[in-house]
Amino acid sequence: MTTLEINFLISLFGAISILLIGFYVLLKDYRSELNKVFFLFAFSGFLWGIGSGLWNLFGISTVHSWLYYFRFYWIGVAFLGPTFLHTCILIYKKRRHTSLFLLYLPAFVTIIFIYSPFFLYQSPYPTVTPFIPHPLFKKGFTFCFLLYLFLGEALIFKKYISLKSKEEKEKIKYYIIGSLLPIVGAGITNLLIPLTGLYSLSSYGFMFFVLGFLIAGYGITQRKLFIDYREVLDIVFKELTELVIVTDFEGVILMVGDATLRELGYSSEEIKDKFLFDVLAEGRKSQKEIFDELSKGRKFFDKEIEFLSKDKKRIPFLVRGFAQKNRIILVGKDVEAIVKESEQLEEKIRERTEDLKRSQRALMNILEDVEEARAKAIEERNKTMAVITNFADGLLFFDKEEKLSLINPVAEDLLELRATEVIGKSFGELREFPRMKTIIESVKSISKKVFRKEIKICENLVLEVTITPVLRGKERLGTLLVFHDISREKLVEKMKTEFVSLAAHQLRTPLSAIKWTLRMILDGDLGKISKEQREFLEKTYQSNERMIGLINDLLNVTRIEEGRYLYKLSSVSIESLVKEVIKNYDEQIKRKEIKLSFTVPKVKLPPLKLDKEKIKLAISNFIDNAVRYTPSKGKISISLKKINGKEIKFAVKDSGIGIPRDQQHRLFTKFFRAANAIRTETEGSGLGLFITKNIVEAHGGRVGFESEEGKGSTFYFILPLKSKKIKNGR
């Protein structure tokens, strides 16, 4: 491979890499002006690289093709400087859109010039490079390019020096490294090394630009380099009327509320470069106490702290301090204002009390009974409000017109609402609040008699919503919504399911290996064994099979709960499927001398769209239970019939032990086995009916049973002739 071909491949790889980095940064936040300009910067590098490679590879064929690729290369180079300086200006936060014309003017002049006849100048090496840029153009462009580099680096270094926070300096460091790396690297490979007479490494200088773009792009996207939290906090704190001060962990003041500035007598410019101890009456000692409080692992503290105003006046505040990531937030209220408000409130209470006493004395003789009733009503109301306020669940009460008239603190926290904002709004009007919108879309209406549903509000919040009408006699007074936070229960259930799945997967592999080994021994593949050894190994094999069955049941339950129990439909004859399952139990039926009958309609049943393996498992679970819990010489009747002309019913009736009435409500739940079933048959997981119920319901069907203890049971499921579409992972 020639040197020109190597140069072309390096340029091509580098140019495409730079363009992809630019696209990635743009797609991360296409609304950001910085990301857009960085993409233009990367696109200029792409044009430069592609033009350089094509110029080196194909340009030597003819003067015309050489000149075409040479000008293409210069288009990319012309915009490198302006786009680099533009990104630096945005980092420095000096946005002057009116000067962008001047910023990019040299680039457009360059493009005009390269198509001018004054651009070309006869080269001393016409066989390699027929022409070179005019000396005046070359000097002028070099000066502009170096000026752009110098100004850009100066701006970001000035930004770096002006930052006080170590975190912010760490973030901007990525862009500094990314911008300096191409200058230093390319200077070594394309300037210093060629001075020694070695030119073979000059093409590798372009790779430093690729690495520089990668580091700078990482700084913009992953480190979230240019999110200025002060702009956000300015908006939040502007209207606060209490003390608000935000610092970093070095005590540098980052943000102060407008009310705090007025209270302490400072302007925002005066407070900008101060430390926390500069505005504390006890100075560094008081600051150390605050930082020590939060360094003990406490999330917040409450204490009285004296602040020092600009005119050296001590102002006591009741302060709550928070430690949030790399910030310390102090929020408080003037103690004197608290005392004054308290005194005013006490005075109003005293005045009101005197008024009430005078009224009470005037009406005592004629309103004693009424007063007693009123006192009781107030007491009951206070009790009710105390219960509502301290209730562990969230409560919303809507009146007859479905307008919100009551909300307790727990509901405010769970639904991110404030009573002052939502009281008086109708159920439908609450859609403007994100969490209530989710609930309204799930509930649809609150006019139902009783309604209960689990609703996932967000990733870490699941609520059980109960809607109950509030009645007085037959009159409907309103509707009560109760929100019970079941997020922890759901998390525990998920952790349990994941543990069961992990344990089952870990056990299935060794059990399968044991099954394979035992089968080889029993089949004589590993040599002859004695009768006693065979009996022992047969028992071991059967125990291992039961364990594998349990593991498979656990995995099926886990897949059902996680929504990964997939279904694959095909046209199936359910009659043939039942016969196939019955055949598997021939040996057990003969051993227990059970009389089994299978009844099918005279008219052949049509094939159904079913998941053959899943329905086969459901049929097997019903028949297995009948065989297992029917005593010797008992009876089992299996039937298939068409009902209502639209459904098929499969039923298994036995003369077995039956199910106690007080335990029947727990059938089809996980791990349930009736007490008499456990005494009769010690082995069993209690998962078969749960799995069957989920399989049948996934096919649009339903399950049911009839049972009487000591007299037997009938289990059945009903499937529609036209199956509904099954969603995988139901």
Report pLDDT for 653: 94
Report pLDDT for 565: 61
Report pLDDT for 226: 44
pLDDT over 70 (residue 461): yes
Angular region, 312: left φ>0, alpha ψ -120 to 50, beta rest: left
The structure tokens listed for 641 are 């019939």
Quick: pLDDT tens for 91-134. 877 554 547 778 888 888 888 877 776 666 555 555 555 556 66
Q: What does the mean pLDDT of the chain come to?
A: 78
Calculate the CA 426 to chain-centre distance: 31
Quick: pLDDT tens for 509-540. 676 777 677 777 776 776 777 777 777 777 77
Residues 6+ apart with CB under 8 A from 435: 414, 415, 416, 417, 457, 458
Report pLDDT for 228: 44
Q: What is the mean pLDDT of residues 558-564?
A: 61
Which has more confidence, 373 or 251? 251
Structure confidence at residue 542 as a pLDDT band (50, 70, 90): low
- Where are the domains positioned within the chain? 3-221, 229-338, 392-485, 497-562, 570-720
Topology alike, domains 229-338 and 392-485: yes
Quick: pLDDT tens for 216-245. 877 777 655 444 444 445 555 555 657 888
Q: Confirm whether pTM is higher than 0.75.
A: no
CB-CB neighbours of 391 under 10 Å = 14
Structure confidence at residue 649 as a pLDDT band (50, 70, 90): very high
- The CATH superfamily holding the domain 3-221 is Rhodopsin 7-helix transmembrane proteins (1.20.1070.10)
| CATH top-level class of 570-720 | alpha beta
Mean pLDDT is lowest, of 483-497, 554-568, 573-587, for 554-568
Q: What is the mean pLDDT of residues 329-345?
A: 79
Asked whether the beta carbons of 22 and 213 are under 8 A apart, the reply is yes
Considering 5-14, 474-483, 494-503, the range whose residues carry the highest mean pLDDT is: 474-483
Residue (of 608, 584, 611) closest to 596 by Cα position: 584
Report pLDDT for 118: 66
pLDDT over 50 (residue 489): yes
Report pLDDT for 564: 55
467 has which bridge partners? 451, 481
Structure confidence at residue 713 as a pLDDT band (50, 70, 90): very high
Calculate the CA 53 to chain-centre distance: 45
Spell out the alpha helix ranges (H) of 1-134. Answer: 3-28, 33-58, 63-92, 100-114
Quick: pLDDT tens for 263-280. 888 887 788 778 888 888
305 has which bridge partners? 317
Structure confidence at residue 432 as a pLDDT band (50, 70, 90): confident
The structure tokens listed for 168 are 């912010």
The structure tokens listed for 684 are 């069993």
Find the angle CA(710)-CA(713)-CA(717) to the nearest 5 degrees: 170
CB-CB neighbours of 518 under 10 Å = 17
Asked whether the beta carbons of 157 and 171 are under 8 A apart, the reply is no
Quick: pLDDT tens for 622-632. 998 899 889 99
Q: What is the mean pLDDT of residues 400-421?
A: 86
Quick: pLDDT tens for 158-210. 888 887 767 677 777 888 888 888 777 766 766 666 666 565 555 666 677 78
Instruction: Give me the amino acid identity at 529.
Output: I
pLDDT over 60 (residue 562): no
- Domain 392-485 CATH assignment equals 2.40.280.10: no
Between CA 390 and CA 11 the distance in angstroms is 70
Report pLDDT for 227: 43
Asked whether the beta carbons of 15 and 7 are under 8 A apart, the reply is no
Report pLDDT for 700: 86
Between CA 7 and CA 52 the distance in angstroms is 9
Coil/strand/helix, residue 208: helix
What is the end-to-end Cα distance of the chain in Å, rounded? 58
Report pLDDT for 241: 59
Between CA 331 and CA 252 the distance in angstroms is 16
Report pLDDT for 730: 45
Report pLDDT for 365: 65
Asked whether the beta carbons of 691 and 621 are under 8 A apart, the reply is yes
pLDDT over 60 (residue 502): no
Find the angle CA(134)-CA(138)-CA(144) to the nearest 5 degrees: 145
In this structure, what DSSP letter does residue 299 have?
S
Return the CATH number of 229-338, one of 3.30.450.20, 3.90.1860.10, 3.40.50.720, 3.20.20.150: 3.30.450.20
The structure tokens listed for 362 are 């005037």
Asked whether the beta carbons of 146 and 81 are under 8 A apart, the reply is no
The structure tokens listed for 129 are 């490079």
Q: Where are the beta strands (DSSP E) in 290-364?
A: 300-308, 314-324, 327-334
